[in-house]
Structures are given as C-alpha cells and as structure tokens.
Structure 1
Amino acid sequence: MSRHRHGLVALALLLASLPALALPSFTEVRAAHRPSDAWLLARDGTPLATRRIDRTVRRLPWVPLREIAPTLRRAVLISEDKRFLEHAGVDWQAAAAGAWNNLRNERTRGASTLSMQLVGLLDAESRRKGRRNLLEKIDQTATALRLERSWSKDQILEAYLNLVPFRGELEGVAAMSRALFGKWPEGLDEQEAALAAALLRAPNAKPDVVARRACGLLKEMRRETLCGDIDAVAAVTLGSVLHRVDQTSQLAPHLAVKLLTQPGQRVKSTLDAELQRVAGESLRRHLGALEKRNVEDGAVVVLDNATGEILAWVGSSGDLSEAGEVDGVTALRQAGSTLKPFLYGMAFERRDLTAASLIEDAPLTLATGNGLYAPQNYEPDYRGWVSARTALAGSLNVPAVKTLVRIGADDFAQRLRRFGFDSLTERGDWYGYSLALGSADVSLLMLANGYRTLANQGRWTHVRATPDGKVAPCRGGACGTFSGKPQRAMSAAASFLIGDILADRAARAGTFGLESWLATPYWSAAKTGTSKDMRDNWCAGYSRRFTVAVWVGNASGAAMHDVSGISGAAPVWREVMDWLLRGDVAGRGRLSSVAPSPPAEVIARTVRFDPVAGGTAEPSRREWFLAGTERNVVRAAQAKSLARIGYPAAGTVIALDPDIPPGRQRLPLQLTARGEAGWQWHMDGKPIGRADRPGRWLPQPGKHRLALVDEKNVELDAVAFEVRALRGRRQNN
C-alpha cells in the first residue's frame, strides 16, 4: 500500500506542474449564473410574473450557502466527499483505495471529490461530452488542485450545489428543492436532504433505487429511524407531478410575455402591483356575475395621464377564460360607440357643429357601394331633433352617422390615426359610414391612450411600460402606442367640450338614467360602446389624473347575450376608478378630481331652443361654445345647412363591370337631406340634372368632381371620386 501512496505523491507533483483548464473566480461563476426564468417587477420591485425562457434546463436564482439547510450540506458531503474539509482538491486516501481495489478487480466507490466534480461542471465542453478520457481526467485533477488554492471550501460547496444536476431538467439546489419538495432549500429536513443527495449519483434512477441510497445515507448520519417510510416519500417526491418551481403570483402574464426575452432578466415595469391585483379581481368578479350571459373574457388598462405610464395591464380573465393566453389589451376588436367622441370633437373643431346644434334623430338610409346603409339606435326608437350634446352623451347612432357625412369618412379616419389608432390602415371610404359607429378594429391600449389624449387637452404622446421607456411590448395592437413624437391630435377647446359632454350625467340621462355606473361623485368623463351583435363592449374614461379602459367579450368572437357596455365593462371601470381616487388605510391618500377650467377660446352662453316640427325636449341651459360659434337661440337647421352629398362619398373608387350592360350600372346621386327646388348636380363643372329629386348618372372612366349647387349657382358641397373600367372577362368556348 505504501508503494501506491508514494506513487500518488509523485503524481500530485506532476499534476501541479501541468497546464490546467482556465479557472474562473467564484465571483465570475456566480455572476454568470442565469436562471431559466425571467421576472417582471412592479414599479416598487414587487414580482408580478415569471416567464420560462430557457426550455433546455430548469434553473432558479443562485442560493447562498447560508440559505441551504445544514441537513442537505451534511448529506451531500457524506454521499460525495467525506473528507472534503480535509483534502486539498484530491482525496488521495480514496484514490489509493480505489487504485488498490482496481488491482484486486473489486468494485469501488468513485474517488472524485466535490472540487473535481465542480471543475467538470465549470467545463462546458466536458459537460457536453459527458464522459472524459484519461488526459482530460488528469487535466481536471490538476485544475481541482488549483481551485482549492484560490477558492474557499464554502465557495466550492456553494457553487457545486447551485450548478449540479439533480433530476431531469432540474439543475441546482433551488430548482430541485422547489420542484421536488415545494419549498426553498433552507427548509429541507433530514429525510428530504437524504433523498436529494441520493440523486447526485444517478439523477434519473427509479424511486425505489433512490430510496435505498437515501436510507444508506440516513444510516451513516445515524438517523436510520427515518428509513421507515422512505419508499413512500420517494415515490411521491419523484413522481410525475412536480411542484410549481416559482411561486411568484402571475399578476401580469401578458405583459411579461412581451417584455421578458432573456433568461435571468429582471425587468422593472411601470405597473402598480396593488392596482394590478385590484383590477384583475374586479374584472373576474364582474365576469363571474355575467356567467350565464355567454361572456368569459375581459381586459383592463390604466394610464397615468401626465406621464403616460401604464399602471395596470390585465390581459384576460385568467382561469375564467378558455383562451386566457390571448391578450385583450392588444387584441384588435370593433370599437363600437367609443369612437364617437373623436368624431364630434372634430366637428366642433371644424365649426361644423356646436354642442347645442340640433341634429335630427330619425330613420336614415344612405346608398353605398355595397347597397343601402340604414343605421339604427341601440334602443329601437328615435328622439327627433336633439342637440349634439344629447346625441353624444346618449350615444345616439343616427346623429353620429349624419355627423360623419358632414365630416367625411376619409378625413375622420385620418384624424383617428393622429389619436394613435394605427390599426386603421385603409382609406375612410373602405370603412364607410359605419366608421361613425366603431366598425374599425382597435386595441384597448389604443383606445385608452386616445381617451388620455382628450384628457390632456388633445395632445397625443406615447405610453410606456418601463420607467425609462426603452423596452416596449411591441406586439399586436400596441406598436404605435409606444413610439412617435408628441403631436396635436385635437384642439384644446374641442377636447374640453368633449370632456364636458362625457361628464354630463343630465345629457346622458335619456339613455342611461341619472344614476348609472358612469355617474361618479367626482369629475370624470366616460363613454361606453358595444359592437355589432354584442361581440364586444367597452368603457373608457378619465379623471383629471387617470385614464381607465375596459373591454369585455369573448376571445373567440362569440356574441354575448344582452350585455352592453353599461352592464358589462362599465362596472369594472367604475370600481377601478373609485379605487384610484378614494385612497385607503395603507397610505394611499384620497385624490380629488374637479372639472377642468375652460381654455380661453371657449365661452359660455345661456341658450334656448326654438320649437321645431315634432317638438324638442331640450330645455334652456348654459352651454359652452368655441368663440365665434356662440348662439343665444338655437333653431333646427334648414336644408342648406343639412344637405351634403351622401353618395358617392369623397375618395370613392367605382369599378365598372364589362359583363353588365352600361344602363344597369348608373350611379345613384344622393343627398343627406331633402334638396330644395332649383338645386342642381354639376359633374366636372357641367350641369347634369336636378338635385331635389333622386338622380342617376351613367359613369365614365376617369377622375370626376361632383358638386351640389343651389338656385343661385352657389356651390354647397363637392366630392372627388374615380371610375375605373375593368378588362373584359375571358369567354368560355
């Protein structure tokens, strides 16, 4: 035996002189450690969500040695390296015994120390190949000797426990402890520690094999009494069902998917952790109450008006939904009546309307390229002559369509893009008159920032999800909302008028009643919307400090059963807004929200409404006007004020079909109101017929200008459109 020891001493001297593997410092190894997950943090650092990025391994953050149970440290040393605290990297006694037993052809326990194993874990190439040849083993041994001279014993043990594979994809003590035992490493008891240490020799061994090895370790630890139920514990622990490795509450999983891209990331967001929780709970609670009405999904966004920071991002109803992974914040959906404030604001800004202007709410039919369009109100009745204030606050459809006719669909579409609705990629005539009623697809985030723009006196700026704004969750209906230069989307005066109308509970009482979810005890401006067939409903609104937007529907697009914006999304909107402003005992102070002061170009007048045919229910009141548009008496508009070219719309492109006789392709020329005697149509500067009766024109290829002129040859309206001739179709023989 002494000859072998002398030989081993000589070998040690030789190893010390050999070039060895590059050896990083302990600090470098710990700094390079990357968990397989990434973490999304709230603005105060509270974890909001985790996302698994690296699918090849399951690894959690580095665990200091002081946070690893002494029971596990002891079990590992007994299992892997009994003389770890005594040797200098190589256990020569174990190596000598191993060599002697090899000469006698006896099976022996390996002599690889923790230091040697750690060198193998640090060597990525050797880990990839799995097995090492003799020269590589010699190199590893030499490096282990160097490791012991530069690292402390505690550092070696700490690094080993954080890097060693335990079972399957589980790497490191943290992932092993969380997955197998549902606890952090500091809480492992002796039985659990023995099972964990027994895995190191054969990480994927069957539970009964691991149990026998663990029992052997317990006996060496003089705790053999714990062997009684070790088989059952091993069977449960190593079964197919693992504990959830990371217990971070998944409060913002949809934003996490968009922001977290690299293993080990810890991205701080602008979200408020408590608000995120409150908004999610409110959404799920109210959706639960609507369970029998075929609705399961929803989303909530909260913005800080001044900074554009996103304070809450609830993408779905979670386990209430069959498509919980779909992000309702960025999904594109039909906006319903939530686009009406931007339409009326544009009409006010252009001085086509005032808040007191009367618009007739009566059955309407308009000709389009796809046939007749006949908008109807949500309620199956009509109000007659109503003011623009009442029409917007009460969300009447026919007055909104008539307003769009005055504005022009293409001009309105362009204005919506200035508000950040970059999902509107087509010309206005593609959407047609239904654009007034929200036929365009928008995202909840776009809508929220559009309303925030109204709250900020018509000035659009982008939002941000991280404090510095450098990381943007640019996917789906979100990209344009996170970038772009600040711009004026609407005048401050027109934005003030819209906010005042959306805050007017008396104006909306005819549709929603005086005490609805929108009637807050503080100043707020809000609007609901419901898309066709009740597939989506919305509520968006703002106080002086915050903007809240809510969508309720089904990710599948299925229609809800009798759920409107006021019954679906509005209760969530109100509850979240109340929470933001009321304060609480946890230190959040109560916030006030008072009506904003009017800009200098907005003046107040007391107006009365002259009776009109059919009567009007609008009483005298004090009204806001843009300077120069003020009136003391409001009368129903005459034909010259109401008449516009209804069809063809500006920018329309008409295609002639060569297989249809020309006489059957005549173009209808229509007005939005009844024309007067003496009015005429002019096509490209030439009269083509009377305009006080329905007219039809034989279209000619090319670009044309259609004008409406009165009896004094004064032009009242004009549109430009184009006619294209299609090539003849190939005839079948």
Structure 2
Amino acid sequence: MNGSNSLFSKRRIFLQRFVLFFFIFVPIILWTTSLFLEIAVNRTPLPENLFSDVNGTPVLLDREGKIIAQISSNEARVQMPVPITKMGQHLPKITIALEDHRYKFHNGIDFYAVFAAAYRTLTHADHLSGASTISQQTVKLANKRKGRSLKSKIRETLSALKLERVWDKEKILESYMNRLDYGNRRLGPEAAAWAYFGKSASALTLAESIFIAGLPHSPTNYNPWLRPENANSKYLRSIKRLQSLDILTTAQSERLAANPPLVHRKLPPSSAPAFVEAMLKNNNNISKNEPTLTTLDSSIQKRADDILAKQLDLLNRHSVRNAGMVVIENASGNVRAISSVSTNDGSSEESYNASLVWRQAGSTLKPFVYLLGIEERNFTASSLLPDTADSVSSKFKAYEPKNFNRKFSGPVRVRHALASSLNVPAVYALSLTGPRKSFDFTTRFGIKTHESIDDLGAGFILGNRKIRLLDLTSAYSNIARSGLVLSPVFAEETMIKPKRIVSKESATIITDILTDNEARSSSFGRHSSLHIKDHRTAVKTGTSSSYRDAWTVGYDKNHTVAVWFGNLNGRTMDGSLTIESAAPAWKEMFIYLAKSKGSQPLANSTAARIKIDSLTGLLPCKHTKRLIEEIFLSGTEPSKGSMKFYDSNGNIQLPEEYAGWCSTKDNYLSAKVRPPLTGGPRILSPSDGSIFLIDHEIPADQQRITLSSDAHQTRWKVNGRSLIDPYLTLSPGTYLIRASTKNGSSTAQITVR
C-alpha cells in the first residue's frame, strides 16, 4: 500500500511539473522566441534594390515607334519589366503553382515545405532539398546572391517575413517574376515571351505559359535554344505537377502534352547599329524603364545603307572597302541616319563605326577658315589671294603646299579659291585669320579633336587634322543653320538651345560660295556629281594624302549629308577620287531626300549684290573684261576701282608679289608685274625674305641660286660686292641683294642656314 502511494505521489509530482512547464514555461519560451524573432525581423534590412524600379535593358525606337535595338547590360541581354497585369492570364498562376503553391496562405515562410525539405535531406543524404518561398527568392534575387550558406538563408528568411508585412502578395510576385532568369540572359517574362515566342507575355497561351514557367528552375539546363529536349522534358513534368495540384484536368494535361508550343529564336532587332552606337556614346540619359523614341528615320537609314553598298560594289577595282554616311535634319539637329558599310573584303573592319573613326579631314575644314575671315573682316568674298609658289613660304617658313593639280592660278578671288578647293590660297587665308584662332573656331563649330594646333601647324587646314564623320556633318549643319550651333540630337523631343557663333550674313556668304557651280567648275567641271539639277545645294569635298580618305559633305534647306569612303585598315584607295566615290553617293541621297522626304533646295540669297571686276574683285573700270556680282557684309564693299591692275592698253599688270608667277608657264593671264615706283628692276628670284637651307649631302660648289629680274642688263651686288655672273653660291649668313639698271635699283634680303 505504501508502495502504491509512493508511486502515485511521484506521478502526481511529474504531472504537476509538466502542467507547470506547459502552461507557464512554454508560453514564456514561445513569447520570448517570438519577441526575439520580431526584433530580428524589424532589424533585418530589406535589399535596397527592392524599393527601386527593376531596371530594364534600354529599348530604342525609331521615330515611328519601331524597335531598332535593345541594349544589353552586365546582368541581362534583354530585361523588360512589366506590371503583373501584363504578364498574361496564365503565367502568374502557373508560376505560383510550380514554385510555391501555398504562396497565398503563408506569411513568407512555408513551414510545411521546410519540414518536408528537412525530412528529404535527412533521408537522402545525397540530396539537398530547398523550401524557399517566392518571398524568400525575391529577396535572394534582389540581393543577387550566388550559392548557398546558412547565414544568408537565415537573413533571407527574416527579410521575407518583413517583406510580407511591407508589400502585398501581388507586388511581391511581380517583383519576383521581373527578376527571374528565363535563360539566354532574358530576365523577366516579357523578355522571355519575345525571345521564345515572338509575342508579349500578355498574349501567351496556356501551353506557352507552362513552358516558360519551368525554365527558371535551371535556365542553363533547360535552355530552349541549346537543349530543346531538356526544355520539353521540363514542360511535360510541369504539366504533371499542375495536374497533381488539380490546376489542370486530365483531358487538359493530355492535350497540352500532345501539343507542346513551338519555340522560336527571336533575337533583339538591330537595324541601325552605327546609329545606336553613336547614340549610346553621345547620350547618357537613356531610360531603362521606358522605350526611348530616337530621331532615326528607318527609311532614310535603309536608303543610306543601300547607297553605300551599291557604290562600294562599283568601286571594287579601286580596293575601297569601307564607307559611312550621316544625315542630320538642319532645323532641329536631329540625326536621321548613320550608316557604316563594309565590303566582304572589309568585313574585318565591320565592327568599326565609320562615323566615329578618326580620319584625316582633307579639304573639308577650309570653309570654316574662310567663314572666320569674312566674319572678322580679314577679307571679303571678292578679295584676291595669291596662288603662287612663293606666297605661303613668306607666311609659314619651310611650308610649301601644292594644289591638287600641281599648278598655280596666280591671283584668285576668295569665292573661286574656296569653291575650287585650292590649297595654297587656303593656307594664305589661314595666315590672315591666325592658325590657332582658326583651329579653335572649327572646334567651336562642332569639330571635336584630340590633337592640338601646336602638333599640326598650318597643315591642319589641308587635312592633317583627324576628324569624325558625325562631327563634320554636325558642323556643316551649323553653317546651314546660319551660324546657330547645335550638337547632334539622337532622342526626339530633346530641347537644346542653339548658340550663335557667327552672323547670319557671314554664313549666307559661305553658303552662296559652296552652291556656286560656276565658281567650282575649273576644278570639278560643270556637270560633276556635286551639281544636282534644279536642287540648289551647298557642297564641299575633301581628299586626304595618298587617297586614304574621300569626303563629300553638304546641305540643302532641310538636311545635311556627309559621306566618307576609304579603308579603315589604313590602305590607300588606289587613286580613287572623291568625285568618283563619295560624291555620287552624296548626290544620290539628296535626290532621295528631295523625292521621298520633301527636302527643299536652298533658296537664292536675297542679299544685295554688287557688280565687280571678275579678275580684281574691285569695282569695274574701262578695261574690265567681265563683270560678276558679289555679296558683301555691310561696310566691306569695295571702294576702289581696278585701274591699277591694267596698263594704258588694258594689259594686266599685277603687284610685285606675283612676280615669280608671272615668269612661269602657269601665267594664263599673260600678266606682267606692275612697274615699281622707284623705276628700278623687279627682282624675280630670290624673293625678299626667303630662307634657304644648306644640304650637306650636296657639294658646296653646287649649292647656288640664280638671280633674275624683269629687266635686261641688270647689274648685281650682294652685300655691296659686285657679281660678274648672276649666281650666288650659298653659305650660312644674311645677304642683301641689289639689282640695278640705268633707271634705278631694288633690293631683296635672304637668309641662308
């Protein structure tokens, strides 16, 4: 009896302790645990990425709204975030069913799935089973975590609990699906739907939704393009899973399994790669969430591509492999097309964008020097510039440029010098405007550079400066805009305030010169590709040394077009002239723009014109043989007559600086030098101020120059010493040369180094 009482007493004590533990300590433990859990949840930060919009890969549209490019990022080739309402009727539901079918009933942690996963892991040592909910995976994707660790798992669990308190289920699901990897670096259902089925996610069928929903389980293994059999196998397993969850009926499952969706390979469009590359390099504000409407006109772009390809085929015998074209709308600065085309032989340079490659400018920069000179009243369009063998050396020591035809034209007006693209007068004009100031002026007009005037010298105006086709087009469009400078515009509705660099009147004069087919006829003929019948257009060409670059750039009222032909590998073009390569393509584009886009010719200038002597650029006199009309800035009109350029019989007589030219076969005018006021002979050679350099490879007694004048029986003295013969043997020093006749004398001073 005592033993029974003792046993009963012990049971009673155990029961009392159990009840005490269960009703007192267990609640305390649970309360404490929940308290710590609450504190942990509150203190666990959510990923910052969750609270910013999911960045898509930028989508570029042409001006009509057609997709031309989708720009990849480091994370995705294509990512197009969309609201859950645009993910289709089926895809969100199927994603929940396959990923987390109790999603709507838990608060971020599916404890049933946790215990089930733990059991599977314990009973299958070689199998590690997961139990992450959609909320947990959303946090993981936002953190961009790779791999597994207990610490990260705990943190994501706490963050998931917190996320469920902050967002509703629909918002979490939307964020999750927009971050999912569906293979081939397509993030989000919209990108996947376009890549695999060529349609928006909102238009996916049930079968297509099931197919896509299974891909994120293993994007590489289920890649529909590389491993279609694995992707189809996953599709069938997904159907079985959906049937087991009573989402699909048996009949539906059988029908879906028998008719799997047909997967396509839809790559992002790339209809204007040169334009896209230029836009990305010139625009840092491209939206990642909304498509960007660009300024590209796809019809002009296609035409540019076709024109260049056709012209390259025609130039095959000249070994020309690459070409580029840029079209800009003058009024807005909008870039309408950028084309970069290569032949099959030039495919190795195909990755280069011809519009952005630095190439030697040829003569394309000359108009800017003349524009500066007219604007600053250094000269007018009628001013005479010397095109002679010795005119530049007196301005830029040891620099002796030649014209393209290797001839010298003597006195030429600015209009003729620019229109015919003469080299020597251009360099002489540069001496009047100042090399550094002129160099900076071209830069202000939009000609970018990574070189300096100190490196290039006066030669930059003839083409040793490297420029880009895009910048050249923009600079000429600024002249077309009458001196209002705008940077190239790539996005529609971009508002940029233009800046005036020169007066409208000066720009009008340059435009008038560049449209003058008669003035350029001596170099290009009257029927060249630079002349478009019934369509007045300003145009300039350029050819770099050794025929490596051929340029043609010009504008009408509405558009500026620039064309480049050459070899991006640096090879020469086997003698291909600009007039044969770039100019025909330029002309064909303007004919297309006029016919298809309504581009208008330039109107004739309404500025007042003054009649001048065509030879002298001054007011006419009784000996004037031909009158022409010229435009002037107010206050720069000629006030002097031309009489001093003619003798009493009407024969042409030129200033002393043309003495050397007058004695050459280039003297097509049969001109003579104006008699000096002193009555003495004119020294023709050497020119006053000349500098000679000793060549140590030549014997000293052979290094001598011939002295000549325009008079017979000239007596010569050098530094006061009379010469028997008109020859001077050179040695270092300074020499005063005097030529004398019975009528007087004249002098010239030279330096020998």
How does 1:358-373 map onto structure 2 within 5 Å? none
Q: Does 1:530 align with 2:530?
A: no
Q: Secondary structure at the match of 2:427?
A: helix
RMSD over aligned Cα atoms:
5.7
2:668 alignment partner in structure 1: none
When normalised by structure 2's length, the TM-score is 0.68
Per the alignment, residue 199 of structure 1 pairs with 215
Q: Percent identity?
A: 23
Q: 2:97 aligns with which of 70, 78, 86?
A: 78
Moved more, 355-364 or 247-256: 355-364
| Deviation, structure 1 residue 568 | 2.2
- Aligned-residue offset at 1:131: 1.2
Aligned-partner Cα distance in 2 for 1:343–1:651: 26
The correspondence of residues 234-249 of structure 1 with structure 2, limited to 5 A, is: 243-245=266-268
CA separation of 1:410/1:363 partners in 2, compared to 1, >3 Å: closer, same or farther? closer
- Distance in structure 2 (CA, Å) of the matches to 1:430 and 1:706: 30
Matched with 1:477 is none
Pick from 425, 436, 443 the counterpart of residue 452 of structure 2.
425
- Is this contact kept in 1: 2:552–2:562, CA < 8 A? yes
For 2:364, the equivalent position in structure 1 comes to 338
Equivalent of residue 119 in structure 1, options 135, 139, 153: 139
Out of 196, 201, 212, the residue aligned to residue 233 of structure 2 is: 212
Per-residue deviation, residues 657-702 of structure 1 (Å, max 9, x unmatched): 9x8799489797999xx7678999999xx88999x977665335xx
Count residues with an aligned counterpart.
661
Q: Distance in 1 between matches of 2:452 and 2:706?
A: 28
Q: Is the 8 A contact 1:302 1:312 kept in 2?
A: yes
Amino acid at match of 1:523: R
Distance 1:527 1:112, change over 3 A: closer
Is residue 549 of structure 1 aligned with residue 558 of structure 2? no
Three-state SS of the structure 1 residue aligned to 2:103 is coil
Which residue matches 1:415? 438
1:610-625 equivalences in 2 (<5 Å):
620-624=627-631
The answer for the alignment partner of 2:603 in structure 1 is 594
1:727 corresponding residue in structure 2: none
User: Which of 601, 605, 611 is equivalent to 1:604?
Assistant: 611
Kept after mapping to 2: 8 A contact 1:455/1:544: yes
1:465 to 481, 489, 494: 489
1:60 Cα deviation from its structure 2 partner: 0.8
> Judging changes above 3 Å, is the alpha-carbon distance between structure 1 residues 393 and 210 closer, same or farther for their aligned structure 2 residues?
closer
Taking the aligned partners of 1:680 and 1:229, their CA distance within structure 2 comes to 110
Could you tell me which amino acid in structure 1 is paired with residue 320 of structure 2?
A: V
Say which SS state the counterpart of residue 166 (structure 1) adopts: coil
- The answer to whether 1:224 aligns with 2:254 is yes
1:220-369 matched pairs, under 5 angstroms = 220=243, 221=248, 222-227=252-257, 243-245=266-268, 250=273, 252-259=275-282, 265=288, 271-274=295-298, 277=301, 280-281=304-305, 283-290=307-314, 292-293=316-317, 294-303=319-328, 305=330, 309-312=333-336, 314=338, 316-317=340-341, 322=347, 323-342=349-368, 355=382
Contact 2:542 2:550 in 1 (8 A): yes
- The question of whether the paired residues in 2 share the 8 Å contact of 1:522 and 1:594 is answered with no
2:86 equivalent in structure 1: 67
DSSP 3-state at the match of 1:604? strand
Shift in Å, 1:118: 2.0
Structure 2 counterpart of 1:33: 54
Q: Which moved more, 1:461-470 or 1:704-713?
A: 704-713
Q: For residues 441 and 132 of structure 1, do their structure 2 counterparts lie closer, same or farther at Cα, with a shift above 3 Å needed?
A: closer
Contact 2:279/2:490 (8 A) holds in 1: no
Structure 1 residue 532: deviation in Å? Answer: 3.3
| C-alpha distance in structure 1 between counterparts of 2:101 and 2:286, whole Å | 35
TM-fit CA distance, 1:216: 1.8
- Contact 1:301 1:311 (8 Å CA) reproduced: yes
TM-score (norm 1): 0.70
- Distance in 2 (CA, whole Å) between partners of 1:352 and 1:670 is 34
Is residue 89–residue 145 contact of structure 1 (8 Å, CA) maintained in 2?
yes
Tell me which moved more, 141-150 or 368-377: 368-377
Query: CA separation in 1, counterparts of 2:96 and 2:688?
Result: 84
In 2, the alpha carbon distance for the partners of 1:576 and 1:682 equals 64
- Residue 617 and residue 360 in structure 1: after superposition, are their counterparts in 2 closer, same or farther (change >3 A)? farther
TM-superposed deviation, 1:62: 0.9
Q: What amino acid is the match of 1:447?
A: L
Rounded to whole Å, the distance in 1 between the matches of 2:507 and 2:722 is 42
Give, in whole Å, the separation in 1 of the partners of 2:236 and 2:716.
Answer: 100
Relative distance call for 1:72 and 1:325 in structure 2 (3 A) is same
Q: For residue 199 of structure 1, give the secondary structure of its aligned residue in structure 2.
A: helix
Offset from partner CA, 1:181-217 (integer Å, 9 cap, x none)? 5544334444443343333333333645544332122
CA contact (8 A) 1:20 1:140 kept: no
The gaps in structure 1 that reach 5 residues or longer are 1-5, 473-481, 611-615, 724-733
In structure 1, C-alpha distance between the alignment counterparts of 2:456 and 2:707, rounded to whole Å = 16
Give runs of aligned pairs for residues 101-120 of structure 1, distance below 5 A.
110-120=130-140
Q: Is the 8 A contact 2:384 2:616 kept in 1?
A: no
AA partner of residue 64 (structure 1): P
Instruction: In structure 2, give the amino acid aligned to 1:299.
Output: G
Listed one character per residue, the Cα deviations across residues 205-263 of structure 1 (whole Å, up to 9, x for unaligned) are 36455443321222324423444586x97xx88xxxx6424667546133134136699
Letter in 1 for 2:99: E
Residue 530 of structure 1, CA deviation: 2.6
Indicate the residue corresponding to 2:672 in structure 1.
Answer: none
**Counterpart-to-counterpart distance in 1, 2:738 and 2:371:** 26
From the superposition, tell whether residues 596 and 374 of structure 1 become closer, same or farther in structure 2 (CA, over 3 Å). closer
| AA partner of residue 441 (structure 2) | R
Cα distance change on mapping 1:41 and 1:429 into 2, 3 Å: closer
TM superposition shift of 1:527: 2.0
Q: Give the aligned partner of residue 144 of structure 1.
A: 160
Q: Could you give the per-residue CA deviations for residues 481-524 of structure 1, whole angstroms, max 9, x where no partner exists?
A: x99x8645xx8766544433321223334554444433332432
SS of corresponding position for 1:549: strand
> Could you tell me which amino acid in structure 2 is paired with residue 117 of structure 1?
Q
CA distance in 2, matches of 1:305, 1:709: 59
Instruction: Choose the corresponding residue for 1:699, options 724, 732, 735.
Output: 732
CA contact (8 A) 1:367 1:670 kept: no
Once residues 714 and 24 of structure 1 are traced to their aligned partners in structure 2, the CA distance between those partners, rounded to angstroms, is 95
Asked if the contact 1:287–1:297 (Cα under 8 Å) also holds between the matched residues in 2, the reply is no
State the partner residue of 1:17.
38
AA aligned to 1:555 is L
Which one has a bigger Cα radius of gyration?
2
Task: Give the C-alpha shift of residue 23 in structure 1.
Answer: 7.7
Q: Which amino acid aligns with 2:233?
A: R
- Aligned 1:423-462 pairs, distance under 5 A: 423=449, 425-426=452-453, 437-452=462-477, 454-455=479-480, 459=483, 461=485
Q: Does 1:640 align with 2:652?
A: no
Aligned 1:497-516 pairs, distance under 5 A: 497-516=509-528
Opposite residue 699 of structure 1, the aligned amino acid is P
The answer (yes or no) to whether the contact 2:42–2:162 under 8 Å persists in 1 is no
> Is 1:131 matched with 2:140?
no
